[in-house]
Structures are given as structure tokens and as C-alpha cells.
Chains A and B, each alone.
Chain A
């Protein structure tokens, strides 16, 4: 049976504002399927976003939805989660929103391990503001502010999240909706802070400036560079330059034993705080 997206969408807000062929829709659909998989009630779920193309996604979802200031979605979401720890929080963001202007909030949400899921749609560019380069624009590529080719090195969003303390981190691409759905579901199920990076296309801004101005060639470019994490582990750094390494970077079960996790949160944040309330109230 076909999935009933309309159950979760505000159909009166459709058509959406994204360009035809944009990858955000793939991520949105994967997210709604994941929501159904974990049986989240719409009334108990909030979608929060910052600014940019991705930030418009919550508006289409029939839940409690909050479109905030640029990069700050995580901060509003943290307040909501602290106020109502038993509710479900999802933050929908882009590469610029999450890792440039919101970079500080991003690493600290990871560090706190607060039970929320951040979905970062990474299209290597600022789409809505007109194609300026972002912290994930590859070196040498063009943007409206890197007219002669980008010289800014990129962030690896997943490695950043992993190092900062998120307890579930995964990356896939908009070419693989089912995998995205699976990863997002695992993020929802993880009691802690989860980051799912969805590598996406922006043929309108990024593609147009880099000789792949249609959705097909833009997505092909992503597909051609995809390397599964297991394979990447045996490869040399120079061969991985500008590649898209996909897979689960950290899961609650698999990677928590490794030495670099010596400082990781032992508990989900709102649980740890509720222990404080219990302790103080007892006195």
C-alpha cells in the first residue's frame, strides 16, 4: 500500500516553494515515513528549523512547527525539550544553517546528548540567499561568493557531530530514500542526540555554477562520489578527497566503546536533569 503522506502534511500549504527536482522533498518524505515507523503522535511532536530552503519544511508538516532565526533552531528546540522532556523534537536544517551560523549550537547540542534528532540537508551551498559558498562547498568549486573557485576547506558534518558527542550519527544521500528513512528512524529511536546528514542536490544554485544545472546531473555527481563507510576505512585520505562517505558513523551500540569516547555523556540530558530534580526535591 502506498504511504499516506497526506496524513502528515498540511495539504493546503502545498505546492511547496522548493525548485522542481530539489532533494529536500526526498528527505521530508523519508522523515515522515520514519515518523510513522516509530508511531509518533502528531500532537506530541515538534519540528523546528532555522533559516534557508530546508527551514521551510516544518511548515508543511501537520505537527507543532517552529520556524526560527538563522542557525538557532537547536536553541529553541532545546528549550522546548527541557520544558517538555517526554515530547519528540526534530530539527530540520541545512549545511549553512547548522554548521556556519549555527555551528556553536550544533556542537553543544551534540555534547549535551539531549534527546532530539537533527537532520542536516547538505547541498554544499546557500540556496535561498542566492548561491553563496557554505562550510561544505568543496575546494575549487564555484559559488556566488567564490567566483574564482572556493579556497575554504570543508567541514565533515558527521565527523564533527561524532567528535562533539552525538550518540547516533549517519549519512546517506537523496539518491537513497529508503536508507535515509532507516537512518532517520534510528535517530528517532536513539535516546540521545542524533544527527543525520542527507547529502542533497541544489542544481539551481550549486549545479548551475558548476556545470550540472539539471537535477539528474547534480544527483549523478553525488552518486558517483559515494563511498560506503566500510570501504572508506581502508582507503587513503587522498583518494577520499571530495568523496561522500555514507553509512552509520556512530551508533549507540557499535562505537561507544572506542577510546575517543572517554568524555561522552553517560546519560541523555533531560534524564540527567530529572535526576537532579528528584535529588533536590527529596531534601
Chain B
């Protein structure tokens, strides 16, 4: 783990695999990166089909205060979840959104924003929107270097529901490749689609 304390938030709507993404990251960090992790899912009636999120607090040492305060990484797969959970972010946080489902992003925000077709790619390459959040974990690994790609893969194998391992692993790879491409870009608003990566190199 690169930083001593890190806070990530994965948000979306029901059925996008957000909760699993949080679990994959927290589990991977604890078991393969020698760090502490606390995961708190949203606990409201909204989980049933509405906006949902999971916060993951990572630290090299014991985590005393389990809530997120200064978020380093924010993912939103839907406008609903963006509107509710885009808060408590650091100015230099990384923001990843799916532009097709999150069309309205404020123009004046200080953070660098990556617009990635996560849901569309998940549907096209893995067959279900459910893999979008795991794609985002791959992207997280590639862009933040907080966790090695192979450690994300190990965590995916341990945490995927039976029969989804292959697709989840593929999602991590695509996400990671997208992040590598993203790192080359310097603009404030980075737009990425499936065309930006060479699938043969995965």
C-alpha cells in the first residue's frame, strides 16, 4: 500500500455490484497488502433498488474512526448515487463516473474526473451490468497503485459468487488496462471507452 491512510467510496444503484466491489478491495488489502480495512455499506431502505454505496477505509495501522472523512477515491455508476454521495472528497481525489448514467457532473469541481463507460463495457464484455463495479476495482488498482493487480485477482477469486469468477477476473483486467491508459492523460476531464485499450493485450 502506497499511502498510510486511504479512503475509497464505491457508489451506484442496486444491481451494479457496488457492495461486492467494496468487499473485494477490503479483503484484498487485508489479506495481500498487509493493511487494515473497514468496510461500511449504506444501510438505508434505499439499498432496495435505489442509490447505494460502500465506504472502504484503509490504513497501515489500526483504524480507530471507522467512517470516511476525506475521501481519496470516488466512483459513481449512476446520477442518483453521484448526487447523494459526492461529498467529503479531498480536492485531489480521483473521481470515476460512468458518463452514460451520470450525465450531470458539476463543472467547477477541483478533482480530476475520469469518464469511463463502465456499465456499457460490463454488459458488452461480461454480459451483465453487475460487473461494472468490479471493473472499477481493476481501474482503482491501475490508477491508484494502492493494490497490485494480482492481489485484486486473488481477492476476486476468494469473493466472487460461484460461477462468476471468470467474468470478474476479466473485469479486473479490463479495468486495470483502462487505468493504464488513463494515466497517460493529463486533462481535467478524461474520457475513456473500450476503444482506448487493446483487448488482445489483456
Q: Note whether A and B contact each other (Cβ less than 8 A).
A: no
Point out residues on A near B: beta carbons under 8 Å. Answer: none
Point out residues on B near A: beta carbons under 8 Å. Answer: none
